Homo-oligomer: A and B are copies of this chain.
Amino acid sequence: MARLIKTEKEVEGRYETVWLVVEEDSLDQWPAGPRDVVGKPAVRKSARARARGEARYTADVRLPGMLHAAILRSPYAHARVRRIDLSRALAAPGVRGAIGPGDAPELDEVAGYHGAPVAAVAADSEREARAALKLIDVDWEVLEPVLDPDEAVRRGQLVGEPRRVERGDVDAALAEADVVIESEYRTQTVLHNALETHQSVCVWEGERLVVYTSTQDIWGVRNAIARTLDLPTDQVRVVCEYMGGGFGAKNEPGHYTFVAAELARRTGRPVRCALTRREENLATGNRNATIQRLTVGARRDGTIVALAGEFVASLGWDGWMAFTAGPMHGLYACPNVRTVEYGAKLNTPPMAAFRAPGFVEGTFGLECLIDELAAKLDMDPLELRRRNYADRDPATGAPYSANQLLECYRRAEKHWARRHEVRARSEGPWRRGVGLASQIWYGGGGPPAYAWVRVGSDGRATVITAMQDIGTGTRTAMSQIAAEELGFPLDRVDVVLGDTDRGPYAVPAAGSSTTPSMGPAVRAAAADARRQILDIAAQRYERPAESLRIREGRIEASDGESWPVEEVLGLLGNAQILGTGARGPNPAGMAVHTFGVQVAEVAVDIETGEVRVERLAAIHDVGRVINPLGASSQLEGGVIQGIGHTLSEERLVDPTSGQVLTQTLDAYRMPTIADVPEIVTELVDVPDPNLTSLGAKGLGEPPIIPVAAAIANAIRDATGAAVHELPIDREEILRALREAADRRAGALGEGAKERHETPATV
């Protein structure tokens, strides 16, 4: 029976009251370790389709009579449309429709950032559509942009209310602390830049709207569109079979979808709206820049007694405030914590979720600060972290469902022990060092989450869920879980996903929730199907169902007889067995988190400021591992994206005009294969005994979280220089080296910092 639970749900740091409809799940967890299929490395189910170009991405959707839309964007960071004339564009060759401010959701006459959508045309070809944009006459009133986050906070120009979270008595604890360190950290704006740009194809089938879109959340997009366009939800169908990445930027319909839907409505034709790479860099969201003013107080033995922080998040024109203070509240057993977070509303492109939003930024600040404290206390950084291990959730006092952070620390030792040997390899201007950082994140997923498993008369099974595969190998993991539970070989299980018209509700591919949410639902559905197969087999072979099991595609009786599963399934004829399953509830009163430790080895050229990451060991606790091959790929991907974030990527805007300066991949420097170090991945692989029938947590976000701090701490280990700002480019390295030299020379007092002026990286 479905149970209704009234609960608080943390949504990126905000607590919301939600009612959850959950099902019970009575399956026992499998024992730990590899089984017939689960826990063994499996090559991606979709590898062949992807490699052969057969996988249909939104970018591949071509419908008969399809038009192409292009969007006119504001050339100013802040401006208002006084007057707009679409008539010349409408008369242009191939143009079939044109819309302006107010004609579609998110087409607005006030442009709050460079790249804000203002108008759009649909034409027979993309070339004609883009040519017609030049014929739209706009009379702009240019307004003053606000670009400085501290200035915005001073003016009270905020997105939402400041978020204040406090426990204990921070002031009293700081007053009694043996050591207090204040330090400021800054992180930059970075862009998702997924391989597939944001795009949708919309077509009206009568009163139904079908939307092919590159999204992480087909259900969320469906409901948002239905709500916005005032349609019954089942009259909107959202399809995303394959997608070329999202990283958090593809959770919502987006203006391009509404543009395509409206132009499709007006023209009666399918309309494709695909953003270019430049548009991708302007108007699809970003990880927001932060300023973090942090304080830590500790006893001489390393016990952290107080943590405080003031955070300013540069949210741009719109967005929401990620929980940058999250790591400060959750990573260490500190009784006194006080944070305030401000969301600065600026005339820059809007913030969007980006792989562990808030925690990536907050962990950089916190874990650098912890290393500053270790240096001050002259204590081993690993030992200092162990000493402040929280054996229950410090924010709520709730026990963890499982916590293998100490095991991660233990496994990190061998990598950490390399530091002496690494340092010894310093030579000439190249100094080498090792740094580490730890990490906490969510990853328990949650209900509601449903799945079906269909078994046909030919002895093959199909997992059907209306979930997405953002590119993380979801099809493979879900196939493994179903195959394991069914007792089928892996190659007899397929997965169908990505269509709200096909399959039950599934969670977004966000928040590292896919495997922990959908995995138990898939297992439950497979178990339901298995039960039905055995019920029929019991009647067919005249044996009690309890004496039968399925293994490797054969029904095995306890008396030693066995039959291929196709034999009994063949009785179904054209029909099939359908197993349905739902994920059970999260453990009541428990905190579900993932943990990890990363150890980076770097080489720094102290003359040029060049940094090379030479090795990075990532040790993570994500509960049970379904596919070790896919899991280590995920760790590697997170680390590589983290290296880009740490060393090179930055969205720059002109500090006066607010114009985005980095619109191309050439200007916006993502890491290439030459930047990728040796990556050593290690998964603790102990099922969370309290979490569902699977014991698996999520894996998508954790690996990027500690990368920046581990690298920054390694740079300090190599050079003695403390970096405070991302990206750690040559300027920042040279500044930190100068500061360290000055400090050694006694020119700077303790705690004081030389700040250099850089362009506002809001």
Contact = CB atoms under 8 A, between A and B. Distances in A.
Interface string A209-236: 0000000000110110010000011100
Nearest to A447: B575
A257 B571 CA distance: 26
A32 interface: no
Contacts of A48: 206
Given A19-B571, A21-B577, 8 more contacts: A2-B536, A4-B539, A4-B540, A21-B571, A21-B572, A64-B64, A219-B575, A496-B501
Quickly give the copy total for this chain: 2
A144 interface: no
Contacts of A55: 206
A578 interface: yes
Contact of A535 (B1, B19, B576, B580): B1
Interface in A525-546: 532, 535-536, 539-540
A117 interface: no
A134 interface: no
B234 A454 contact: yes
A122 B424 CA distance: 72
Nearest to A540: B4
A462 interface: yes
A335 interface: no
Contact of A576 (B52, B460, B504, B536): B504
A462 B237 CA distance: 13
Q: Describe A's contact surface by its main secondary structure.
A: mixed
A315 to B, nearest CB: 25
A501 B62 CA distance: 21
Given A206-B52, A539-B4, A574 B450 contact: no
Contacts of A232: 456, 458, 460
Interface string A168-183: 0000000000000000
A43 interface: no
Interface in A59-106: 62-65
Nearest to A237: B496
A60 to B, nearest CB: 10
A234 B462 contact: yes
B450 A578 contact: yes
Interface size on A, as a range, is 35 or more
Contacts of A690: none
A219 B574 contact: yes
A222 B460 CA distance: 15
Contacts of A532: 2
Interface string A229-250: 0001110000000000000000
Given A2-B535, A539-B3, A574-B505, A234 B21 contact: no
Contacts of A220: 574
A206 B601 CA distance: 44
A56 interface: yes
A578 to B, nearest CB: 5
A457 interface: yes
Contacts of A56: 205
A222 B573 CA distance: 11
Interface string A548-588: 00000000000000000000000111111110100000000
